[in-house]
Amino acid sequence: MKWAGAITAMLALPSSFTPLMAEAVKVADRLPIIWLHMAECTGCSESLLRSANPSIDSLIFDYISLEYHETLMAAAGWQAEENLEQAMHKYKGRYILMVEGGIPTGDQEYFLTIGAHGHSGKESAVKASENAAAIFAIGTCSAFGGVQAAAPNPTNAVSLSSVTHKPVINVPGCPPSEKNIVGTLLHYLMYGTLPALDVYNRPKWAYRLRIHDLCERRGHFDAGEFVEQFGDAGAKDGYCLYKVGCKGPYTFNNCSKQKFNQGTSWPVQAGHGCIGCSEPDFWDVMGPFEEPLGDALYQTVFGGLGADATADKIGIALLTATAVGIAAHAALAAVKPPKE
Ligand code: FSX
Ligand code: SF4
Ligand code: F3S
């Protein structure tokens, strides 16, 4: 019940849902999962391995049945491929497909091949998606193309949703936190349906708010107290990282609340600004990572809408006003007597 309570709170549900969560997990008994690796760094799997509440071993042994996962399973070679075939056959229409990584396509499709038969990543992903009960794109690479798709995109990498006609729930972040991966899974376990999604098909329970909204340094932002360069006095005092490039005001994710590595820390706590890793095309649109975007409008290839058109426009307007505030503060600070 303690565990169910923690998960219920993480999913932003009222505590009265705790018994229901406990029941759902009991009856869901070992949900079959097929996890495929495409082009990526395996950071998403690393993140999953940091899972606490439930721990990764209890998650695998008590709650889900991880039928195929190239970096976690014991099988290799022909045996591994056979396991994948068998899992897709045995659990047809019932398994959850999780895909990590961008997918090379076109003339470059065979830049990524997997297994003894040399199937392309695209072939494997499309085939596995056909009979999945639900499909989760884990990480920004799978959700939006990620680092592989950054200009000039030499492998013509695309998102999972670009190669399948089935609905895909995106769980972006480079990597996403273990909580967002496990939480999305448990949400599905509990309701058996897709969660409420934003315009980029990200679950709203995790990606509804900006990093900036709940950031522990927000008070400093509002007070106009900024780190001017890494290692300065402001950095030591935990001032806001906006001027050294934090993209928290443009980024929708729950890192500032849920953190990483079992709640140990997160980028801003560690002293570097958010680089916008859960937004589409962040490698191309959020850079340079250690400089502010200023009043450059945050545009994306998806029609330039931003993650949430209305909220983003308001946010950007506010931010531009804040940029004015920053300048005013800087002018004031120059004439203010030094602190006692
Ligand atoms: Fe890496 Fe996953 Fe980034 Fe991508 O995470 S952490 S490159 S989102 O697909 O392995
Ligand atoms: Fe936090 Fe970044 Fe916002 Fe500053 S700009 S308050 S560091 S999210
Ligand atoms: Fe990514 Fe920003 Fe969170 S860089 S991990 S979305 S703080």
Q: Which residues of 6-30 are buried (b: 16+ CB within 10 A; e: fewer)?
A: bbbebbebeeebbeebbebbeebee
pLDDT for 331 beyond 80: no
> Nearest residue CA, atom 3 of ligand 2?
212
Distance spanning both ends of the chain, measured CA to CA: 52
Q: Would 2-207 and 211-298 be classified into the same CATH topology?
A: no
Non-local CB neighbours of 232 within 8 Å, separated by 6+ positions: none
Q: What is the mean pLDDT of residues 149-176?
A: 97
Between 186 and 144, the higher pLDDT residue? 144
pLDDT tens for residues 226-247? 999 999 999 999 999 999 999 9
Model pTM score: 0.85
- pLDDT at position 295 over 80: no
Nearest ligand 3 atom to alpha carbon 268: 7
**Which of the following CATH numbers is that of domain 211-298: 3.30.310.50, 3.20.20.60, 4.10.480.10, 3.30.1520.10?**
4.10.480.10
Look at domain 2-207 and name its CATH class: alpha beta
pLDDT band with cut points at 50, 70 and 90 for residue 334: very low
- Is 65's pLDDT higher than 90? no
Q: What distance in angstroms lies between residue 257's CA and the mean position of ligand 3's atoms?
A: 11
Q: Where are the domains of the chain?
A: 2-207, 211-298
Q: Report the C-alpha gap between 202 and 304 in whole angstroms.
A: 17
pLDDT value of residue 319: 55
- pLDDT tens for residues 101-138? 999 999 999 999 998 899 999 999 999 999 999 999 99
Range scoring the smallest mean pLDDT among 20-24, 208-212, 259-263, 318-322:
318-322
**Cβ atoms of 25 and 8 closer than 8 Å:** no
Give the mean model confidence (pLDDT) for residues 13-30.
Answer: 76
- Distance from the alpha carbon of residue 75 to the mean position of ligand 3, in angstroms: 34
pLDDT at position 332 over 50: no
Q: Whose CA is nearest to atom 3 of ligand 3?
A: 255
- Distance CA(279)–CA(49), nearest Å, equals 23
Task: Say how far apart CA 29 and CA 65 lie, in whole Å.
Answer: 9
